[in-house]
Structures are given as C-alpha cells and as structure tokens.
Chains A and B, each alone.
Chain A
Amino acid sequence: MTDLTKMTLSAARDGLQGGDFTSAEITEAHLSAIADASDLNAFIEVTSDQAMDMAAKADAMIKDGSAKAMTGIPIAIKDLYCTKGVHSQSASHILDGFKPEYESTVTSNLWADGAVMLGKTNQDEFAMGSSNENSYYGPVKNPWRADGETKDYVPGGSSGGSAAAVAANISIAATGTDTGGSIRQPASFAGLVGLKPTYGRCSRWGMIAFASSLDQAGPLTRSVRDAAIMMESMAGYDPKDSTSTNVPVPNYEAALSGDIRGLKVGIPKEYRVDGMPGEIEKLWSQGIDWLKSAGAQIVDISLPHTKYALPTYYIVAPAECSSNLARYDGVKYGLRVTGDNLSLDDMYKKTRAAGFGDEVKRRILIGTYVLSAGYYDAYYLKAQRVRTLIAGDFKAAYEKCDVILTPTAPSAAFALGDKVSDPLAMYLNDVFTVPASLAGLPGISIPAGLSAEGLPLGLQLLGQAFGESELLNVASVLESAAGFTQKPAKWWGENS
C-alpha cells in the first residue's frame, strides 16, 4: 500500500480522485505522523477534530463530483494567517489567547477548494527572522542534519515550521509568507519548492501584517507541480485588500510544458558575492548548464544596486513593522500587563515590553527611529529612493532576459544557535531573496543538490510581474534536470 504521508500533492490528488484512498485516511495518517514528530516543534497547534470534519466534507465533494485539485489534501497553515476560532498569533506572546473571529482570504480560498487544515505552524515571531529561532514557542528543528551529525539545524525562516512539516512528511504542503525571503530561504534549507508570487497576486487580508509593502503569501511544496496547484487556489483578487491586483489567475499547472527553447535566462554578475561557498557557485553553474541543455539562451546581466538591497530592506521593513505593530497595545486583543495604579501609558509600555521578543523590539525601535522627526528624509525617504533604483535594475534586466537564475541562499542550513547572537550575520541570509521582494517580483526556490555535508541547497528563479506561469515552467525544467529525490533520514519520533 502507498505510504499515505510520502506523496506529492499531485499524486495525492490523483489518488483521492481515483478512489485509491480517502481524505479521511490520509488526514488521519498525517495526524499520527504529526504526533510522532513533536521533537521538530513544527506545529504550534494541531486541529485534529477540525481536520477530520474537513476531510469528511472533502470526501463528500469527491463523491458528488464537485472536487477541485486541492480537495481532501491535508495542509499546514503558518500561524501568521488568521483562521477563525483557531490559534493565530504569528508566534508572538503579545497575541496570547487571540482567536480570530474571521478567516483570512487565502485560507478561505483553500478551504473553498476543499483543502484540509492539519494545524498552525511555528515561525519567527511576526515573520521576523531567517532561522525560526525568534519564536515565542521555541525554535523549529530542521528534519535535515549534516551527514553523521546528531546536532540540530535550523529550518530557515520565517516560515520554518511550514518547511519542516513538509520536509518531515507530516504535511503534504504548507502555506508560508515571504517578506524578504521567508518562503524561499526555508525551502532551500529543507529541500523543498517555495514560491513567492508577485506582490498583489494574493490577498493579504487576514494575514497578520509585518511589512505591508512586501508581505506576500505563497506555498511550500515537494514539487513544482504541487506549487502550481496550490498557488492557483491561494491567488486571486480580493476587494478587501486594495493592494491585491485584479488580473485573472491562470491555470498554472497547464503552463508546465517543460519547453523553454529560446527562453532567455539572465545571470546577474552582482550575485557572485564575496565569501560565497564554492559548492554554491558550482551548483549555480550547474543550473546554468541544465537550462542551456534544455534550449535556453544564457545572458549576462547586471543589477547594479544589488548590494544596497539589504540595507534598504532593513530600513523599509522595520519602518513598516513599527507602524503595523503599534496596534498591539493590550487593549483590543492578546496580552495585557496589569498592576496597581498603572497608568494607561505604563500599561502600554509594560505590555509591549513583555509581549514582544528581542528581534521584534529591535526592529520596532529601528523603525521608530528612521521614521522620527529629523531622520525620516535621511533614512526612510533615502531607502525608498534606492528601492526605486533596485526596481529599475530589474526593469532594465528584463529588456534583455525573461527570467533570472541565482542561488537562493549564501549557505546551507546552519546549526541551531550559530547565528542567534549576531543580527547582521542573520540578515545576510536573505542577500539573494530581498532584491526581488523590494521590486515586488515573483521568485521560486527549487531544491537542486546537496552540500558536501549532505544538506539541501536551492536555486532561485526570479520572474517578471505576474509571470508566475513562465516561472513555474522554467522551474519544472530545472527540477527535472536536478532530479533531487533525497529525503532527510528520520531521527525523530518512533522507529528513528
């Protein structure tokens, strides 16, 4: 019998619709796998009863012929998404006990298509982090370990719980969110496909905001086809988010022709950064060869402002976060610190001091500073001008090429605790993912090989605005050529 927890989403869809198994069966199999994998700390909340109810409804949809591609597929949802009546705290202490009275648009879309929610996944608090070590609920452990190692590795962040869950076969796929690389970098660290669509492709309504001009929803999956299927369900215009774009959602799966003859692939010289490990440079060259063999034309391009993307991001994102997170004041929801004769102002200050973690406080303070009187022009306005130049670099590059190929991250997964005391070293994880985020462009990470230590490495493809179909098609070519089939050796739970 097929192992019900080791399938791709597309295989599960075919099996469900062909009557090989029911959603109740695969949902149950995943719930037991989750219980067995508590060591990973990937889930903050498991919604077993709700999952079984949703599975029963999905099985009814399959029976009466109204099933969609996502019907009956058990998936995990990042804690950042508001899910009605269910834990939704963006992994922060300050939202203690918060259970939304509404459902985010992206999850509503998935449930309308019949997907099944297994639970809410761990993440960096408010999506601020690249290692999932900034969660109030503790760090997530990567199912992958270096060869022969018994120490724990980070799954990347901020969507680390989602990445660990899919890589450990405890969820078929998962939602993530990407502000500066939070889907793509964990996908790279966990040997998965991670897609951040164009800004505006998904509704942000009901997603707990971090940096509103950058945040986007996207899937973490085991294959490019899976990403295409799940993206199609998540995407779409939503009048409740004025920044969502009213363009039709294509059939992404139908775009996977595998034909990229004549396609122009840009290679940006500025992404050859100092200190990049030789094996990543080698993998990148390998990726170039794979696309060339498939008939693509390789073009050298320049994105001259690349080195300024990270500092720009670390002004813009904290500025937006300081403004977005002003809503957590101990009045409307979540934590409130009380005390005798505490003034309103002191209640705010003590609540926010107790409720936010160190990295979140750091970013709120930076953001408050760069937006404050006298510094706004020098920092914030300057950063938004450089952002225009970064977006302009991409615009000019896309006159010469159709997609861009780069590494996803400058390293493989690192050991838990390795970078936690050095915020700047941590920020450098996102050096290859942040530029496209600032320009609002789509990007996808594809597992392409293993490091010398036996940890997954990803390659990133960047596309043009609303060019997800083309991006997914090129990604499928890279995926076939790379033939990445390795899985982490099970060290957690029973029979490890």
Chain B
Amino acid sequence: MSVDKETVAKIANLARIEVSEDELESTVGELNNILDWVEQLSEVDTDGVAAMTSVVAADLPRREDKVTDGGYREAVLKNAPVAEHGFFAVPKVIE
C-alpha cells in the first residue's frame, strides 16, 4: 500500500499538523519509503496468532474507586500558554 498527496493531506489533518504544499510532496516520498519497507511483514504467517497486548504477564491492578489526588488548580494551570478565570483559555469556538 502506498500513500498519495491526498492521503497525506488527510492524515496530516487527522494529526492536526499543518503541512505546506511543498512539504506535502517530500512527505509523500518519505512515508512511502517507510511503508514499502514495513510491507515485508506481509510475508509473516500470523494466522491464529494473538496480537500482543502486554509484554509482562500482569493483571491490571485495581484500586478502590475514590478520589486520591487533586485540589491544585493553580499548579495544573501554571504551564498553560493562556489561562483565564481559573481555566485553560482557547480561541473562540462558538460564534
């Protein structure tokens, strides 16, 4: 499988990365090189093989469902590029 300019533009949009027309051209080539190379996995017979979900044989630990953390809004907001009235601030999304 290989990607074209239209597909790369689509995945760049999904990934929310702006890619200029010029970059689009070179990115198509780079991604296809990598995709051609990973294509060799199709040689491997994986019928009936379970997909890896965890490399360590461990059950996901569970804990009591209660609040054990929080209550420090200032610290959470401290690194925000823009914070207003105790919230993260973003460009206007509703007209």
Contact = CB atoms under 8 A, between A and B. Distances in A.
Contact of B46 (A361, A382, A440): A382
B56 interface: yes
Contact of B17 (A312, A349, A391): A349
Contact of A308 (B44, B49, B75): B44
B66 interface: no
A311 B34 CA distance: 9
Interface string A262-302: 00000000000000000000000000000000000000000
Nearest to B69: A240
Contacts of B49: 385-386, 388-389
Contacts of A199: 55-56
A440 B63 contact: no
A338 to B, nearest CB: 8
Contacts of A335: 81
Contacts of A387: 51-52
A385 B11 contact: no
A334 B79 contact: yes
B27 to A, nearest CB: 7
Contact of A384 (B1, B19, B52): B52
Contacts of B1: 375, 378
Interface of A: 97-101, 198-200, 213, 239, 242-243, 245-246, 305, 307-308, 311-312, 314-315, 322, 326, 329-336, 342-350, 352-353, 356, 361-362, 364-366, 368-369, 372, 375, 378-379, 381-389, 391, 423-424, 438-440, 465
Interface of B: 1, 3, 7-8, 11-19, 27, 30-31, 33-35, 37-42, 44, 46, 49-56, 58, 60-61, 63, 72, 75-76, 78-82, 88, 90-93
9 contacts: A200-B56, A345-B16, A361-B17, A364-B17, A385-B49, A386-B41, A389-B49, A391-B52, A391-B55
